[in-house]
Amino acid sequence: MTTMLAARFHAPGEPLRLEQVPVPVPGHGQVLVRVNACGICGSDVHFMDGHAPVARTPITLGHEPAGTVEETGPGVAGFSPGDRVVVRPGDRCGECQACGSGRDNLCERSSVLGMHVDGGLAEYVVARAADLIPIPEGVPFEQAAIVSDAVATPYHALVERGGLRAGESVAVFGCGGLGIHAVQLARLAGAEQVVAIDVRDPALAQARECGATATVNAAEGRVSRRIRELTGGVDLAIECIGRAETISEAVKSLKRGGRAVVVGMGAEAIALPPPNTFTWSEHSLIGSFGSSAESVRRLLGMVASGRLDLRASVSDVLPLAEVNRGLELLRSPDRNAVRVVIQPAGGGD
């Protein structure tokens, strides 16, 4: 086994190319993982469309891999061939101030799979052993794969950054792969009211199925006003889109003392209400990026126990040969795909 099949990104506007590339060799502290499942994220679509940069081209995309340990490099303890693992999206140095303070999602020298280094849309991926998390028995690879980003990222925003408490009210702006899980997790965390906002009626219908107590179609008028009519203002707003307009509306939807957490990535400058309004209400605007390893472990445990049901989150499961079709499914405005999962090396559960 010297080569493997990988989905390679060469330039914006071009489809991914399926190419034979060398199988990576695990170095000190690293593990070679056979990829049984890898989720496609909206970020992958942004890379393909030229709306977000990658560090180099060509590069193998995919930052939501799960699979089985194939080989361990020197200095690895705790993992053996055949172990079922999730690979966290980013590599952490383990030495900087952020890593030492328990916030390794903010590692100063991090590198993200599929953005800085070759990712998981390939038959094999190499990662640090420290970035692997065991998959509990009974959790399918395709569900485990999406936990590392599509589920853990909104959990981090809601609980670890937003400080969600039982009985509070939440507004979720954008009901794609991140937002739909934010709705589900907010209800699991005890939110009394969860208002879902999107411009797509199918997405809003799915949000209701995931526990939203109310929905607002943003195409129909002033969103923050409608949210305030429904709730009197929310305690916590989660913005999963990354647009200046929706961030502003998220802040305006808050009650006094409320928190707005921005998860969405974008290039537009943020416009806030005047300081006398912002400070008088003691509003908080908080950034949120990625998640902690503990969040991923906790969420995998919730899936294993049946408390968190992700079956509806996996919209399609496709072989690596159909990766470009998977990307088109995410782009399609007529189809509400939460996560498309690719099986580069087969399912193997």
Q: How do beta strands 65-72 and 234-239 pair?
A: unpaired
pLDDT tens per residue, range 19-29? 999 999 999 99
Strand order in the sheet with 284-287: 214-217, 193-198, 169-173, 234-239, 254-262, 284-287
Cα(68)–Cα(71) distance, integer angstroms: 9
What does the DSSP assignment read for 256-276?
A: EEEEEEE-----SPP----HH
| Domains, the chain, ordered by start | 3-151+291-343 (3.90.180.10), 163-287 (3.40.50.720)
Cα(87)–Cα(126) distance, integer angstroms: 9
Residue 334: which pLDDT band, with cuts at 50, 70 and 90?
A: low
CA dihedral 143, 133, 349, 140 (to 10 degrees): -20
Give me the pLDDT at residue 292, please: 87
Q: Is the pLDDT of residue 138 over 90?
A: yes
**301/277: higher pLDDT:** 301
Residue 298: closest CA among 93, 131, 152: 152
> What helix, strand, coil percent values describe the chain, rounded to 5?
30, 30, 40
Residue with tokens 């490099």: 73
Listed in sequence order, the residues at least 6 apart from 142 whose beta carbon sits closer than 8 Å to its beta carbon are: 37, 39, 66, 314, 317, 341, 343, 347
Cα(12)–Cα(232) distance, integer angstroms: 44
Cα(196)–Cα(173) distance, integer angstroms: 6
Cα(120)–Cα(114) distance, integer angstroms: 7
What does the DSSP assignment read for 170-194?
A: EEEE--STTHHHHHHHHHHTT-SEE
Distances (CA, A) of 325 to 40, 212, 341: 11, 30, 11
Q: Is the pLDDT of residue 277 over 90?
A: no
- Average pLDDT for 159-173: 97
Give me the pLDDT at residue 333, please: 66
pLDDT tens per residue, range 221-240? 889 999 999 999 999 999 99
**295/276: higher pLDDT:** 295
Give me the pLDDT at residue 221, please: 80
What's 347's DSSP letter? -
297 with 132: CB under 8 angstroms? no
DSSP reduced 3-state for 115: coil
Element (H, E) at 31: strand 30-40
Cα(141)–Cα(37) distance, integer angstroms: 6
DSSP reduced 3-state for 323: helix
Angle between helices 323-331 and 42-49 (to 10 degrees): 100
Joined together, the tokens standing for residue 68 give 């089985």
Give me the pLDDT at residue 349, please: 65
Cα(242)–Cα(97) distance, integer angstroms: 27
Joined together, the tokens standing for residue 332 give 């399609």
Average pLDDT, the chain: 92
- Average pLDDT for 202-223: 93
Give me the pLDDT at residue 284, please: 93
pLDDT tens per residue, range 93-110? 778 888 888 887 878 888
Give me the pLDDT at residue 40, please: 94
- Average pLDDT for 129-154: 95
Residue 8: which pLDDT band, with cuts at 50, 70 and 90?
A: very high
pLDDT tens per residue, range 41-95? 888 888 888 888 888 999 999 999 999 999 999 999 999 999 999 999 888 877 8
